[in-house]
Structure 1
Amino acid sequence: MFLLMAADAALAQFRPLRFDDEFSVQRQSCAEGSNPGACWKDRPIADHIADHMRLSLGGDLRLRYEHTGNPRYGLDPQDRRGVAMVRGSVFTDLRLDEHWRGFAQLASSRTNGRTAGPSPVDEDRLDPTNLFVEWRSATQGDDGIGMRVGIQELQFGSGRAIDAREGPNVRRSFDAVRAYSTSGPWRVDAFAAKPRLNRLGSFDDARSQTQSLRGVYATRSAGVTSLDVYALHFEDTAARYVQGVAHERRWSLGTRVFGSHDAWNWNWEFAAQGGKFGDADIRAWSLATDTGYSFGDVPGKLRAALLVAIASGDKDPGDDRLETLNPIYPRGNYFGDEATLGPRNFFNIHPALTLQPSPAVQLTAGVDFFWRYSTRDGVYAPNGMLIRPAGDSRARHVATIASIATTRTLAPRWSSSAVVAYARPGAFLRETGATDALSFLSLSLQYRF
């Protein structure tokens, strides 16, 4: 039991964005002799300047196998034996006194077995995912201000609008300038960014020439309930919807309320969008809720949850108004690891159960019932591409997806996961030509250091 708890605690030291790791905390296991690799965390460059210059090294490796039966419900070519993926990265973090920092992270992603060839989120042979310089007025955790300039991953809140896209083989990065301020329970970030375009080769990624994002994101973490509020402005000079292709200028105002009390926990988010798509007005909105209850008297830390979400769709592609939500840069596996459907023009109901039979093992099972919000709009992929246009179908039911997932901490710094999903197409997909049931299996092994 002690080994499992230690392994779980070790993995908790690794953050989704590795530049957020607490390197000084990780170094404690070096002093204890339990992890010699941690001696390369928060390491003094030289004894006489130990307090002024410190170096941290690290990285991760993920091996993943996926097999999808009838990809995109039979619309895409069938992979013969599934797809093998490898993603690895190494990083270095250099601190100069308590104010200056440089962070560089190189990543390589390879894929083999895709019949149609690797997609932009499958393969990127070698490119920086983070390469920035940062200045801050105070040590980490204290009140103050700071600024980060360069290539960097961005992730805010639950990743419903801006996320580093952990699920796919290639993560998402931006060319960005990010300023932040912390004061008591508040943190406020202001940023201007352009997404990096993933290309298959080495050192060939480039910033997008058509898309840009600016915004302010504020978080208050205190008490039973925490709060996020944000304002974002997204621009795409070549945006594509059912209405056509035009210059999109879209603002989003959103808020997220999350927290826990006794056995209850919640994560609710609402966003409203406006702006222009060519000459058309944009009017869109979304609501996402996750409400759970943990049964303290049941072995295994059983949690029952109900997720309900809605995203607006366009009611009339021929009028002068666009009502389709743009989630901007959401997480790649928004509804699940099978990653077949994206958060536009939908409403869904998703009951789920989570069980933790030991500190090192977690099991999750759920069923997702997925419908169209507007019968005049189509169904979209996670990357925003249109899967099926509305056509003549007025059916709402898109698919029902059942899934079971397990994650396991094998040892300190090692973890594994497995996901099995089955998706039956609803009336809308069947009426528009996507008639095959989809099956999905993924097996992953990850090492962090």
Structure 2
Amino acid sequence: MNTLLQLLLLLGFISATNAQQNPVFQKLRYDDDVTYLKTDSAKNAYQRIKYIPLGKNSSYFASIGGEARWQYTYTVNDKWGDESDEGDGYLLSRYLLHADIHLGAFRTFFELQSSLANSKIDPSPVDENQLDIHQAFLDIDFIDNKNEQFTLRLGRQEMMYGSQRLVAVREGPNSRLAFDAIKLFYKNKNWQTDAFFTHPIANKTGTFNDQFNENAKFWGNYTVIHKVPFIENIDLYYLGLWKSRAVFDDATGEETRHSFGTRIWKTKGNWKYDFESLYQFGKINEKTISAWTISSFACYTFENIKFSPEIGLKTEIISGDKNADDNHLQTFNPLYPRGAYFGLVALIGPSNLIDIHPSVSFNLTEKFTLGIDYDIFWRQNTSDGLYAPNMQLLYSGKGTRERYIGSQLISNLDYDMNDFLSFTLETGWFNAGSFLKEVGRGKDYFYGALTAQFKF
């Protein structure tokens, strides 16, 4: 597979330099639109693999694409010195290759994923999953035109909603997340609604062994309404989760959790914003769940100033458990969030947390972008612990009343060489606070990461 990918990447890189118009690569690659190539009679080698006619009917065609990502990371004081107080470097590589076949009202999408970890000690399946079927689904279109679409999707597929706080493809880590799902979705110019029932994939290290996961179920409805007076856009959603076994600081057992939420957002213009709130209820073992979160983000771009600086402020309050050893659990579960929630290395997950996060970014040139953000973290409730993005309990909150976790400074330098190839240099420093010093060694954590990503 590596040889095939290398040949395709080379083909894409050489021919792309002569392409007059190239596809816009979407976050979900099955949303890539290559139909503009239907009327292009002078296709180069790259464009010929992006649009392959399958007959005289223009709605019968195939497309091939993929990506390769290499990411070298160097860390000092893993887990704030509790796992290692020495420097450690490792290389993560990820390869994706897909085929997209359209046959009128029917469409199939198939994608392979290979994630490799070199020199990393005890890599998890999220770091290393040698080769597996990442996506394989069938679409049946009941309505499909410029103004309206009504589709049934069956099979293994990626899903991503809203700001990716709750449902994401887990782009930051090495292995992206997919779901074995049935999904029905309708959209027109002003709104879209999805209804789905899924079993999230549990990755396993190895080859073609990511089997159907009977230990978790995830279902719900997500609706997005555009062109709303004054607020611009609004999301309304319900998400349901069942796990055969979940572990929190003060609860372990079978979990059933329901989440109702809304999001108000705007992504165009000088002012941009994203406000979200949701409430969760359900049961874990014999305990009742009552959890919540409120998040706000606003930023402004100064277009008439050199480098077009954008200044932003994000704040979050995410509930934690109030009292240990009672019959209630207030710990928020972020479900399936983006992996790199607070930076690429993602030390902390969005649970039992208060976060203040100012940021600034600059467009240095057309190709270079610099971003700097600073995070300050506290525990929302001192009876609860500190969690990773995957809800693994990092440190218990029992036996300590310290609230301050620490602060984190991150810088990103992005270079978009062309439409296909990009580089990112990210550095981070986490200054351990009083909580980390009391429950562990509490050393300051450092990392640097260089990422190269090629898409075709």
**TM above 0.5, one fold?**
yes
TM-score, normalised to structure 2's length?
0.92
From the superposition, tell whether residues 31 and 294 of structure 1 become closer, same or farther in structure 2 (CA, over 3 Å): farther
Counterpart of 1:167 in structure 2 is 172
Matched, 1:426 2:436: no
Counterpart of 2:162 in structure 1 is 157
When structure 1 is superposed on structure 2, of 353-362 and 400-409 the one drifting more is: 353-362
Matched, 1:110 2:121: no
From the superposition, tell whether residues 12 and 407 of structure 1 become closer, same or farther in structure 2 (CA, over 3 Å): farther
Partners of 1:225 and 1:260 within 8 A in 2: no
Matched, 1:374 2:381: yes
Counterpart of 2:8 in structure 1 is none
From the superposition, tell whether residues 261 and 107 of structure 1 become closer, same or farther in structure 2 (CA, over 3 Å): closer
Match of 1:390 among 369, 386, 397: 397
> How far did residue 412 of structure 1 move?
2.9
Match of 1:210 among 169, 193, 215: 215
**Secondary structure of 2:227's match?**
coil
Q: Which amino acid letter does the alignment assign opposite residue 352 of structure 2?
A: N
Counterpart of 1:183 in structure 2 is 188
Partners of 1:312 and 1:373 within 8 A in 2: yes
Q: Which amino acid letter does the alignment assign opposite residue 37 of structure 1?
A: Y
Q: Distance in 1 between matches of 2:441 and 2:52?
A: 56
Q: Which amino acid letter does the alignment assign opposite residue 203 of structure 2?
A: N
Q: Distance in 1 between matches of 2:82 and 2:394?
A: 9
Runs of 5+ unmatched residues, structure 1? 1-5
Q: Distance in 2 between matches of 1:334 and 1:109?
A: 20
Runs of 5+ unmatched residues, structure 2? 1-16
Match of 1:128 among 124, 133, 153: 133
From the superposition, tell whether residues 81 and 379 of structure 1 become closer, same or farther in structure 2 (CA, over 3 Å): closer
Deviations 1:307-339 (A, max 9, x none): 101100001121111000001000001111120
Which residues in structure 2 correspond to 1:343-358 (within 5 Å)?
A: 343-358=350-365
From the superposition, tell whether residues 222 and 110 of structure 1 become closer, same or farther in structure 2 (CA, over 3 Å): same
> How far did residue 297 of structure 1 move?
2.2
> How far did residue 10 of structure 1 move?
7.2
Partners of 1:391 and 1:432 within 8 A in 2: no
Q: Which amino acid letter does the alignment assign opposite residue 42 of structure 1?
A: Y
Counterpart of 1:309 in structure 2 is 316
Partners of 1:108 and 1:125 within 8 A in 2: yes
Match of 2:143 among 134, 138, 143: 138
From the superposition, tell whether residues 166 and 261 of structure 1 become closer, same or farther in structure 2 (CA, over 3 Å): closer
Q: Distance in 2 between matches of 1:157 and 1:436?
A: 35
From the superposition, tell whether residues 140 and 307 of structure 1 become closer, same or farther in structure 2 (CA, over 3 Å): farther
> How far did residue 28 of structure 1 move?
7.5
Deviations 1:382-412 (A, max 9, x none): 1100011013211111010001001111123
Counterpart of 1:88 in structure 2 is 95
Matched, 1:15 2:26: yes
Q: Which amino acid letter does the alignment assign opposite residue 305 of structure 2?
A: V
Match of 2:107 among 95, 98, 101: 101
Partners of 2:181 and 2:197 within 8 A in 1: yes
TM-score, normalised to structure 1's length?
0.93
> How far did residue 263 of structure 1 move?
2.6
- Aligned-pair identity in percent equals 30
> How far did residue 227 of structure 1 move?
0.9
Partners of 1:29 and 1:38 within 8 A in 2: no
From the superposition, tell whether residues 308 and 80 of structure 1 become closer, same or farther in structure 2 (CA, over 3 Å): closer
From the superposition, tell whether residues 165 and 201 of structure 1 become closer, same or farther in structure 2 (CA, over 3 Å): same
> How far did residue 81 of structure 1 move?
4.4
Q: Distance in 2 between matches of 1:306 and 1:431?
A: 29
Matched, 1:44 2:44: no
Q: Which amino acid letter does the alignment assign opposite residue 109 of structure 1?
A: S
Partners of 1:165 and 1:171 within 8 A in 2: yes
Q: Distance in 1 between matches of 2:205 and 2:103?
A: 35
Which residues in structure 2 correspond to 1:160-309 (within 5 Å)?
A: 160-222=165-227, 225-259=232-266, 263-309=270-316
Matched, 1:408 2:377: no
For the aligned residue pairs, the C-alpha RMSD in angstroms reads: 2.0
When structure 1 is superposed on structure 2, of 257-266 and 346-355 the one drifting more is: 257-266
From the superposition, tell whether residues 67 and 214 of structure 1 become closer, same or farther in structure 2 (CA, over 3 Å): same
Partners of 2:23 and 2:34 within 8 A in 1: no
Q: Distance in 1 between matches of 2:188 and 2:236?
A: 16
Partners of 1:360 and 1:409 within 8 A in 2: yes
> How far did residue 434 of structure 1 move?
3.4
> How far did residue 277 of structure 1 move?
1.3
Q: Which amino acid letter does the alignment assign opposite residue 233 of structure 1?
A: G
> How far did residue 32 of structure 1 move?
6.2
Deviations 1:345-375 (A, max 9, x none): 0011010001112222211101100110000
From the superposition, tell whether residues 11 and 39 of structure 1 become closer, same or farther in structure 2 (CA, over 3 Å): closer
Deviations 1:28-74 (A, max 9, x none): 797565x531222232023xx34342110011000110111111111
Moved over 6 A (4+): 9-12
From the superposition, tell whether residues 410 and 162 of structure 1 become closer, same or farther in structure 2 (CA, over 3 Å): same
> How far did residue 101 of structure 1 move?
0.1
Counterpart of 1:3 in structure 2 is none
**Secondary structure of 2:435's match?**
helix
Q: Distance in 2 between matches of 1:18 and 1:260?
A: 21
